[in-house]
Amino acid sequence: MIFDTHAHYLDHRFDEDRDNIINSLKTENVTKVCEISADADDFIQIVDHIDKYDMFYGSLGVHPSVVDKLTEDHMDMIKKLSTHKKIVAIGEIGLDYHFDDDPEPEVQKKWFIRQLEIANELELPVIIHSRDAAKETIDILKEYHRGTNKEPKKGFNGGVIHCYSYSPELALEFIEMGYYIGLDGPVTFKNGKKAKEVAKVVPEDRLVVETDCPYMSPEPHRGSRNSSLNLKYIIAEIANLREKSYEEMEEILYNNSLRLYNIK
Ligand code: NI
């Protein structure tokens, strides 16, 4: 069975055929999906969505590119809605220094830290979005989320570095700190050398797969709208890189996903 650990089916690009696509996922053995919130405006919709579709779980959190409008009221909303038993994580949260028109680093850091504190308060795992900000991400996770070996933070429940884009060495550092590594489309790209290296070195029990759909379509569908139906290409490439059978890899990744989100 396949677990898509990171998807955005509430995106407007699914407005035309959302039900059809979701109802077809089982034909490709996709049995569980985590619907990820990126904006505070998504929260209520996420809860409605996971109530509507059995196979869906959800996360609550705000992406670094839209944190500038946040207030403590939004944090209270996360706390209140996360009592839903199918809300399994806080995210996607983090730092993104790629675009100049994103909120200032200081504003991003403030809300990243605040949401990490809430994750520990709720004892939920986190879904980390981190781009061009590796060092700051690690420093903040150490100080405000995981704590040190000597002084672990109360309530820490791990998480995943989603759409992982850094080096194999840093992947091992994140794993050492207690996080999973999420791989998606780029691992199938001909020029996805770094992602392929990461797929090879990450310990077997620390790897999960995701589509990040509608973005990030893998080969052979690169450039078109993505969906969880394409996860098989990502799993096949990882199985190939790790010299395992497809079936074995699929099962390992599925079990890792359940463990990441504490789903029995
Ligand atoms: Ni995403």
pLDDT at 148 over 90: no
Strands ordered across the beta sheet of 126-131 = 2-7, 30-35, 56-60, 87-96, 126-131, 159-161, 179-183, 207-209
151 CA distance to ligand 1 middle (Å) = 31
d(CA 224, CA 123): 37
For 65, how many CA atoms within 13 A lie in the half-sphere containing its CB?
Answer: 11
169 has pLDDT over 90: yes
pLDDT of residue 16: 97
CA of 58 to the centre of ligand 1 (A): 12
The rounded percent of the chain whose pLDDT value lies above 70 is 100
User: 54 C-alpha vs ligand 1 centroid, how far in Å?
Assistant: 21
The answer to whether the CB of 180 falls within 8 A of the CB of 159 is yes
Percent of the chain surpassing pLDDT 90:
97
Cα–Cα nearest to 164, from 145, 143, 144, 186 = 186
pLDDT at 91 over 90: yes
The residue with tokens 């990502």 is 234
Q: Are strands 207-209 and 159-161 parallel, antiparallel or unpaired?
A: unpaired
Query: Cα separations (Å) of 120 from 41, 57, 73, 180, 192?
Result: 23, 19, 18, 17, 34
Q: What local confidence, expressed as pLDDT, does residue 149 receive? A: 82
**Distance, CA 10 to ligand 1 centroid (Å)?**
11
Of the given ranges (42-56, 144-158, 163-177), which has the lowest mean pLDDT?
A: 144-158
Contacts with 247 (C-beta within 8 Å, 6 or more apart), sequence order: none
Task: Give distance in angstroms: CA of 212 to centre of ligand 1.
Answer: 5
- In sequence order, the β-bridge partners of residue 89 are 59
Q: Is the pLDDT of residue 142 over 90?
A: yes
User: How far apart are the CA of 94 and the centre of ligand 1, in A?
Assistant: 11
pLDDT at 137 over 90: yes
**Distance between Cα 124 and ligand 1 center (Å):** 18
Mean of pLDDT over the chain? 97
End-to-end CA distance of the chain: 15
pLDDT at 55 > cutoff 90:
yes
* Beta partners for residue 148, in sequence order: none
**How many Å lie between the centroid of ligand 1 and the Cα of residue 8?**
7
pLDDT the model gives residue 22: 98
Residue 168 has pLDDT above 90, yes or no: yes
- Looking at residue 151, its pLDDT comes to 87
What pTM, to 2 d.p., does this model score? 0.96
Smallest Cα–Cα separation from 66: which of 91, 39, 89?
39
